[in-house]
A and B are shown apart, each in its own frame.
Chain A
Amino acid sequence: MNNYDVIVVGAGLSGLIAAAAATAAGAKVMLAAKGAGTLTIGSGTIDLLGYDNAGRPVAAPAAALAALPADHPYGKLGLPAVQAAADFFLALCAAAGYPYCGTLAANRWLPTAAGTLKPACLVPATMDLAGTEDAAHVVVLAFAGLRDYRPEMVIEGLSRRPGFRGKHFSTAVVDAGFGPGRDATALDLARWLDSDAGRRECAEQLKKRLPPGCLVLLPPVLGTRPDYQAWRDLEAATGCRLVELAGIPPAVTGFRLRALFLAHLRRQGVAIHEQAPVTGAVVANGRCLAVVTGQPDRRREYRAGAFVIATGGFLGGGFESAPGAACESIFGLPLDVPADQLAWSEPRLLAARPQPFARFGLETDQDLRPIGADGRAALANVHFAGPNLAGYDYSCEKSGNGVALVSGYHAGTAAGEGRA
């Protein structure tokens, strides 16, 4: 007997979306997660497609999907599925009180802590530059003790980029009072700004240091909760626009999106098992009966009618690899990889074209079920999502959260509707 209709494995963006989509389709859902997923590394923006496979920047991502190789996950799912997933996501965020900005029609170029611009379609309002074009003065904020961030690097890069050339840049420092010798991360500062006292103190310091009407760029520290409260309070107190930069981990804006989804899933009655690494599965007659968690001494089986495997490919631990060989970790599904290790990668790390190893993954059917050697679904009730899918390089294309969103939504819907 199954306790659940659908079990989703993995709590990165694709797993969270899959669980939400399966729930929306009426399924009783369990989510098993090993760790926090890559939302804690990335910035939680939905990057549909920033660059094409020749390394050219993309202005209109939805329109550019058609030119991608046919084996790309977007090609497999089609534009209507992409739009449906985005609509679902935007509605969910808006209903949770943390609406995202943007559409699939155009890329927004977001400023980063490295002084670069990165493309994304759907972004938190705190990262959106729209409406700041007229600001002649840009203040790049620093925070005392925040080590992985230097305003000088932001200014050095941005001052040379379109949209920022000719603006006046300056810096100002906010001190959260952590004391000397204490290193701070963006997460420490976001927790400080979660508190009323922290926000008041920060507002007092900013009021003294900001010229009126300036644009303020700051690391992603505006609270850990998906409610825009810290952002609104500080903008109201200073009368200035505040824009968060994409930074290096821990990614506070990604934490907010994760918190939003976990709260939503809990409200929907999803059973969430954290620290529950899935190590294997029980399979019979081409169907998965259960997934297995834990070590041999604490082995547990969880049974369901359908499964979504959103375990994150190589980075998330969804794949294992050895010299000249790679396979999927739970079912041991083999990946088609070259025997010659040098054929796994490009001679340049930051090549303007996809890395071969990034395109390794599972070949699937329309419902994202793995295809066996005979060309048919090898597991009738198992759907894969995110970087487990073959055919795209999330880093080179800037398509990671886009593919995660679309494939997670589609896999979760297929599993929830019991299409198997």
Chain B
Amino acid sequence: MTKTQAVVIGGGATGAGILRDLAMRGVKAVLIERRDLANGTSSRFHGLLHSGGRYAVKDPESAAECVAENAVLRRIARQCVEDTEGLFVRLPEDDAAFETEWLAACRALGLPAAPLPPAEALRLEPGLTPRLAAAYRVPDAAIDGFRLCWQNVASAVRHGGELRTYTEVVAIERAGGRVAGVVVRDAVSGATSTIACDLVINAAGSWVGEVAALAGAAVDVEPDRGTLIAFNHRFAGRVVNRLRPPADGDIFVPHGSVVIFGTTSAAADNPDDTAPRGEEVNALLRLGEPLFPDLPRYRILRAFAGTRPLYTGGHGAAGRAASRTFAVLDHSREGVHGLISVVGGKLTTYRLMAEKTVDLACGKLGIAVPCRTAAEPLAAGPAPGLLAAARKYFPAGGAELAAARLGDAFGAVVGRLGDDPANAALICECERVTLGEIKEVAACATTHGLGDIRRRTRLGMGTCQGAYCGFRGVAAVCAAGLADKPAAGLLGDFLEERWAGVRPVLWGTQLREQELLRGIYGASLNIDGAMNDEQL
């Protein structure tokens, strides 16, 4: 049995932020996550760093949090944020009175919303409809939730925090009305063990209710499904919001080489209800077409869905009406001492949520160290000269991409490329992933398979969606002795992983792409036959 002060449950942005905050205040803590980091809603959202504009009118409390945290994250999470800026645009059919109300709300929040003549907005974003009635610039940005989680954890580990992925909570032990420990199962080995602790911090997002129930406590959370669509090119260079009361299908976020568009809002059957549905995709396309008239002709890479952990405690509002602010719950009021849950909120406000949660935790532990997470950057950024050295090995722009993606591990990857020129081989052209990066990530203790490698490196996540780099990546993994199962099985898993997101958008050029992929991997290489043989 191991012993620690606090066990944090849930490896999303909030849990990662809490681990970092605890570690920076000197609290001994372990973060446990049942799968890989950012497996839940922290990787199943727009990737939008809110300026606050979206909630300015209806949810000023959440909007004010966004305004403040937007500025903080630009400072501390530079390598996770792409400063695209954002536009709010109104179409002639949208209510002009809302524009007036919105402007007043932005002023009240101190949110800069600079008017932009529609002609200038069109010059900046030529894919937009020429029917624009009004446009404003706001400090929206794109944020990479996955990278944010990893860089928070990396920083936490430097401060003494501990991460255990693929570790599932099976029970929360209590003694005399207090939590005493967490029983966990290693999802890889199946072994069960107990972590004794003084505090359990429940940051399980949409699963927060299930985790609280393990300790006999309750949280009023309503998982709310949001479906999004990833397009295969960056048809907008800025975040584009429709200037109207928040509704479905009114935000476009550019991300690397793609654009993510959404969302929908519907009560989810359960927090794992993340399979996108055909009718949601079709509804989104109809809603988005007035802003980007060519939308139906763009190639869609995939659709995906996440569940928002909407907090309904007390006032009972649901869906779009529920506040996007958050709550930190002390379950001692229910007689469960030592259990804290954090619920609601936005990815944009994850750090503030962590700060408030850790304030409460430190109060209980009698620790008076102030929060420093808003002041200290997550990662130091590449050392002077390292980028210049890296440019010798990476193709155009690849060094900067890898530096942002890898955070503090960048130096080690550049070292591998220098040690052996073969490590500079480009495995994934879309995302410019080298063999050296794959080897570096494969060597991490938290890496259990090709799926982990792909999420960390973005191998196979670009516009070819693995059609070419799937073979190359698996072949490289085999050649480097990193394979944990037969190559045909690895290849099959690799291709299968994206399929659920492709099925609802399987038409047009994406259908052609999938037929090319089946031509290579099915007809020519018989991966399906080999996989099915191996299952016999």
Residue positions of A touching B, CB distance < 8 A: 38, 41-43, 47, 50-51, 55, 57, 112-119, 147-150, 152-153, 156-157, 160, 180, 246-249, 251, 313-315, 317, 320-324, 326, 340-342, 344-345, 347-352, 355, 357-358, 394-396, 398, 400
Contact = CB atoms under 8 A, between A and B. Distances in A.
Contact of B511 (A51, A160, A357): A357
Contacts of A160: 486
A248 B499 contact: no
Contact of A341 (B495, B505, B516, B520): B505
Contact of B528 (A42, A153, A156, A350): A350
A351 B495 CA distance: 12
13 contacts: A43-B524, A50-B529, A55-B532, A113-B471, A153-B478, A153-B479, A248-B520, A248-B524, A248-B525, A249-B520, A313-B515, A322-B508, A355-B518
Given A114-B525, A157-B486, A341-B503, A148 B495 contact: no
B476 to A, nearest CB: 7
Contacts of A55: 532
Nearest to A38: B519
B523 A116 contact: no
Given A55-B532, A321-B511, A251 B524 contact: yes
Nearest to A345: B503
A contact face: mostly helix, strand, loop, or mixed: loop
Given A50-B529, A116-B529, A157 B278 contact: no
Nearest to B476: A150
A398 B506 contact: no
A55 B530 CA distance: 11
B508 A321 contact: yes
A50 B520 contact: no
A119 B526 contact: yes
A52 B479 CA distance: 34
B516 A41 contact: yes
- Interface size for chain B: under 10, 10 to 19, 20 to 34, or 35 or more residues? 35 or more
Contact of B487 (A156, A340, A347): A156
Contacts of A38: 519
A398 B523 contact: yes
A152 B474 CA distance: 11
Contacts of A119: 526, 529
B483 interface: yes
A351 to B, nearest CB: 8
A315 B492 contact: no
Contacts of B514: 349
B487 A157 contact: yes
B468 interface: yes
A41 B523 CA distance: 10
Nearest to B507: A321
A314 B513 CA distance: 9
Interface of B: 277-278, 281-282, 285, 296, 421, 425, 468, 471-472, 474-476, 478-479, 483, 486-488, 491-492, 495-496, 499-500, 502-508, 511-512, 514-516, 518-533
Given A115-B488, A314-B512, A314-B515, A247 B478 contact: no
Contact of A51 (B471, B492, B516, B529): B529
B525 A400 contact: no
Given A41-B519, A116-B527, A249-B520, A317 B285 contact: no
Given A152-B479, A348-B496, A350-B527, A248 B471 contact: yes
A150 B473 CA distance: 10
A147 B296 contact: no
B527 A114 contact: yes
B512 A150 contact: no
B472 A322 contact: no
Contacts of B479: 150, 152-153
A162 to B, nearest CB: 10
A35 B493 CA distance: 32
Nearest to A249: B520
Contacts of A350: 492, 495-496, 521-522, 527-528, 531-532
A52 to B, nearest CB: 12
Contacts of B500: 347
Contact of B523 (A317, A321, A357, A400): A400
